[in-house]
Amino acid sequence: MIFGQRFYEMNNMSLPDTVQVLFPDINSGLAKIAEKVYNDQRITYDEGLLLFEKADLGFLGVLADHVRVKNNGNYTFFNRNFHFEPTNICIYNCKFCSYKRKINEPGSWEYSYDDLLGRLKEYDGKPLTEIHIVGGVHPKRDLHYYGKMLQLVKSHRPDIHIKAFTAIELDFMIRKAGMELREGLKLLKDYGLDSIPGGGAEIFNEEIRKQVCFEKSDSELWLEIHRIAHELGIPSNATILYGHIEGYSDRIDHMSRLRELQDLTGGFNVFIPLKYKKENNLLSEAGEVSVLEDLRNFAVSRIFLDNFDHIKAYWPMIGKEIAQLSLAFGVDDIDGTIDDSTKIYSMAGSEDKSPKLSTEELVRIIKEAKRVPVERDTLYNKLHVYEV
């Protein structure tokens, strides 16, 4: 099937007519949603829920592709990045986490400043635009410890963007330094923090959050940290951890809270749905959702989050093939080269145990999906367009 924009352009039809042709038995609520999306109108909480409950994959693909093409044309973004995970020692015990360890527990690691510098030096003379730093919440490391880490990166490689520390790590390191959130975030910005990744959001519904990560900073605090960061000129990303014990209404509730904050600040760069992976953690009995569900989830996210410019499929978690497929379901970004630098997903059972992709492979994956690859920086400025 040819989806969305291209189908109705080729046939000189409006999208609502296209929807009627493609889905003759369509539920009237869904037809209304199609009309709203086509007319650039925001859909409601109940309509989002209806999409999850009643819409089939083809229908979701048509609408999501419409929004995707409206925002980003055929461009699909990626960047040249690597991850640094300073430690997997963590005071918390999130049930879905396969990677946390306690101090001295087998399998734990604590990298030093020299380790970071060594890793950074591997990129001397090589193109790189971003370092992504996230890890466990180490009981002994505070804001000043991590501030020095940021300074070290900037002194060796002033040209790269530092996207670092989830709101959960920030909450702890700022409190440990005895500071207020605003003051702490401002100081981290002075140390070199350029943006904040989307982790730690998990699922905002308080009941579900209690069941999967009861000790972690609560939803209000996650949103407050991102709000203050945006006010200070630090943009950020947003995630959802889906496919465990949450229901569709929890996913829509989560996205509604993000949409509301984005209306206020406009500080989110991208939304990244993270698929729950079940190996080696305490939530395994929840199982994993199907690929079909992944694609439906990407599409509903694209349709619902009308004020987010980008939707990212994080390929180390779902694999290259599903990431490629997701480009027909609202996704316009597949993250970056990664360079075998993250353990969060390989330890949770993702198929790729050494995730890395060259820019040539990223470009090939995107071109095969008939999209136009674009190397971007962290803030989605276009650095190189690979015309097809």
Give the residues lining the site for ligand SF4 (CB under 6 A).
Answer: 90, 92-94, 97, 100, 136-137, 168, 213, 216
255 binds, among ligand V47, ligand SF4, none (CB under 5 to 8 A by kind): none
How near is the Cβ of 35 to ligand V47 at its closest, in Å? 33
Q: Which of 5, 72, 219, 237 binds ligand V47 (CB under 6 A)?
A: 237
Residues 140-161: b if buried by 16+ CB within 10 A, e if exposed: ebbbeebbebbebbbeebeebb
- Tell me if 277 contacts ligand V47 by CB under 6 A: yes
Are 254 and 274 within 8 A, CB to CB? no
- Tell me if 272 contacts ligand V47 by CB under 6 A: yes
Q: Nearest 5°: CA angle at 157, between 99 and 317?
A: 30
Please provide residue 50's backbone torsions phi and psi, each rounded to the nearest 5 degrees.
-60, -40
- Tell me if 255 contacts ligand V47 by CB under 6 A: no
If we measure between CA atoms, which residue out of 339, 39, 91 comes closest to residue 216? 91
Please provide residue 163's backbone torsions phi and psi, each rounded to the nearest 5 degrees.
-105, 110
Q: Which residue in the block uniquely carries the two structure tokens 């101090």?
A: 103
Q: With contacts defined by CB under 6 A, name the span among 91-99, 141-149, 301-309, 356-364 that binds ligand V47.
A: 91-99
Cα 71 to Cα 312: distance, rounded to the nearest angstrom:
13
Please provide residue 272's backbone torsions phi and psi, each rounded to the nearest 5 degrees.
-125, 100
Cα 133 to Cα 144: distance, rounded to the nearest angstrom:
15
Q: Cβ of 39: how many Cβ atoms within 10 Å?
A: 9
Q: Which is nearer to ligand V47, 38 or 146 (CB)?
A: 146
How near is the Cβ of 243 to ligand V47 at its closest, in Å? 8
Which 164-183 positions form the footprint of ligand V47 (CB under 6 A)? 166
- Tell me if 239 contacts ligand V47 by CB under 6 A: yes
Q: Which is nearer to ligand SF4, 18 or 342 (CB)?
A: 342
- Tell me if 197 contacts ligand V47 by CB under 6 A: yes
- Tell me if 314 contacts ligand V47 by CB under 6 A: yes
How near is the Cβ of 274 to ligand V47 at its closest, in Å? 4
Half-sphere exposure of 132 (CA within 13 A, CB side): 23
Phi-psi bin for 241: left (phi > 0), alpha (psi -120 to 50), beta?
beta
90 binds, among ligand V47, ligand SF4, none (CB under 5 to 8 A by kind): ligand SF4
Cα 34 to Cα 32: distance, rounded to the nearest angstrom:
5
How near is the Cβ of 282 to ligand V47 at its closest, in Å? 10
Q: Cβ of 326: how many Cβ atoms within 10 Å?
A: 29
> Which pair of tokens denotes residue 285?
């009995």
Residue 12, amino acid:
N
How near is the Cβ of 93 to ligand SF4 at its closest, in Å? 6
Q: Which residue in the block uniquely carries the two structure tokens 């410019």?
A: 309
Q: Which is nearer to ligand SF4, 212 or 303 (CB)?
A: 212
59 binds, among ligand SF4, ligand V47, none (CB under 5 to 8 A by kind): none
- Tell me if 336 contacts ligand V47 by CB under 6 A: no
- Tell me if 96 contacts ligand V47 by CB under 6 A: yes
Q: Which is nearer to ligand SF4, 217 or 324 (CB)?
A: 217
100 binds, among ligand V47, ligand SF4, none (CB under 5 to 8 A by kind): ligand SF4
Instruction: Give the binding site for ligand V47 (CB under 6 A).
Output: 96-98, 134, 166, 197-200, 202, 237, 239, 241, 272, 274, 276-277, 281, 314, 344, 348
